[in-house]
Structure 1
Amino acid sequence: MNAELAPTGSLRVGLVEAPSAGLVFISRSTAGKPEGVTADLSAAFARTRGLPLAFTVFPNSGAAASALQAGAIDMSFMPVDATRRQVLDFGPAYYDLESTYLVSGASGITDVAQVDRPGVRVIAIDGTTTIRASARTLTQTKPVAVPSVAVAVERMRSGQADALALSRDTLQPIVPQVPGSRIVTGGFQQTQVAVALPKGRPAALHGVTEWLDDAKHSGLVRRIFDAHGFGSVPVAP
């Protein structure tokens, strides 16, 4: 199974970076080391297989998905939608995600329905399930793609956008970075975040699925959530 899982001899894992680590995104230590839930999950899995681990960090999950599809990496963790299922294989979910909006204080918006108005400047991260769901659900305005969470935060901070579409857990640490901002009530997408592999690797998919199911049942995923300050967030069943 290792030959199919890691054809280069190292487990090449794609991680997605943001200014603050969350349940999907990683951040960097002062030494530049990736830190976060997905980094810890990857390291735990690599140890069980006796494989050296090689991280590649991407600015958004769309870029990680493209790298998986091209076979440039072997595994990643990302939100699931129908578009991605066409080109990637997914194992078990570890987190149930809700997408919603962070809005500026000047916008006066308080709930998700109020975002859908003409002239509201919505931004979202390029190539993600969230931007696709935002585009499907907005009828009076449309999201504009930006390349990374860091760029999105800067646009909100500088007043170049009124609303940022992202997962609720990732938006929470952004609130203090954008003075006067708030997270709206309600959401526009509920999906799962799961382990993702290139298509055509059935033995690898079976092995990853078996491991992650066991990691959830044994409490390992719970301990990783807790260690990163997500004690109140349930692990996906």
Structure 2
Amino acid sequence: MLGCATRPPVPVAELAPSGRLKAAINFGNPILAVRMPDGSPRGVSVDLSNELGRRLGVPVELVTFTSAGKVVEAVRDAQVDIAFVAIDPVRGADMLQTPPYVIIEGAYLVRNDSPIRRNEEVDQAANRVVVGNGSAYDLYLSRELKAARLVKAPTSPAVTDVMVAQNLEVAAGVKQQLEADAKRVAGLRLLPGRFMVINQAMGLPKGREAGARYLAAFVEEMKASGFVAAALTRHGIEGAAVAPPSSTP
């Protein structure tokens, strides 16, 4: 993960080598982006992409995805120039990442009649936990769960429907998505608190170190200036916080 205290030169050739800034937008995380009725994306990641393109002086091409796993693949294969993904050591092997710009929470969802009352009770052999394939929750729980079994849903927004359809015990995902699901589907409840904190960062293909330094400085400025906070407010995002300033040199 890269940080920078001063603004570096603008490496347009690394951030937009085609002359356009290709930004990956993930509909799988409603904190980052949502699909409008006309199909267009709207959200914090869209605002950051457009502001970066403005500063680089290049047009922005928003490339949409339905899951974080697909976004990571696109960055790894240099099909996009920037992306918005959770910081994770597995993902860090395939891309360069900035310090975080937003912190969000991961939560568990269960049925109302479930005996599970606390996050600490999920990791039992009798429990099957649904996660979005390749999501931050998938990567984290693959390392952390010792007894419970993970079941992979195609995308994070699908975890609740998979849990209900297959009569599974737990769904895991971004807290806001699961809260919406609990209102949409009767008989479900969130467990109190959170099981993980997710640091959302910007990423770009490996080998573009000058671009990563510029992007890290951009993220720090967007946090310090209030841009990220204003975007969260503008899009009605609750439960997510602006990440603190990075101490990474």
Give the TM-score normalised by structure 2.
0.87
Range that drifts further, 178-187 or 63-72: 178-187
1:3 to 1, 5, 13: 13
Paired position in structure 1 for 2:56: 49
The answer as to whether partners of 2:104 and 2:241 remain within 8 angstroms in 1 is no
The answer as to whether partners of 2:25 and 2:45 remain within 8 angstroms in 1 is yes
Paired position in structure 2 for 1:29: 36
The answer as to whether partners of 1:135 and 1:142 remain within 8 angstroms in 2 is no
Paired position in structure 2 for 1:97: 104
1:39 deviates by: 1.4
The answer as to whether partners of 2:15 and 2:81 remain within 8 angstroms in 1 is yes
Instruction: Give the distance between the partners of 1:106 and 1:41, measured in 2 at CA.
Output: 42
Range that drifts further, 71-80 or 146-155: 146-155
The answer as to whether partners of 2:105 and 2:196 remain within 8 angstroms in 1 is yes
Residues 9, 163 of structure 1: alpha-carbon distance in 2 compared, 3 angstrom cutoff: same
SS in 2 for 1:51: coil
The answer as to whether partners of 1:134 and 1:188 remain within 8 angstroms in 2 is no
Runs of 5+ consecutive residues of structure 2 not aligned to the other structure: 1-10, 245-249
Paired position in structure 1 for 2:189: 182
Paired position in structure 2 for 1:85: 92
C-alpha RMSD of matched pairs (Å): 1.8
Paired position in structure 1 for 2:4: none
2:202 to 180, 195, 202: 195
Letter in structure 2 aligned against 1:22:
P
2:26 to 3, 12, 16: 16
Instruction: Give the distance between the partners of 1:47 and 1:172, measured in 2 at CA.
Output: 35
Instruction: Give the distance between the partners of 1:76 and 1:207, measured in 2 at CA.
Output: 14
Q: Deviations over 1:114-149 (max 9, x none)?
A: 222233221101112211221222222211111113
1:93 deviates by: 0.8
Paired position in structure 2 for 1:227: 234
- Aligned-pair identity in percent equals 28
The answer as to whether partners of 2:135 and 2:156 remain within 8 angstroms in 1 is no
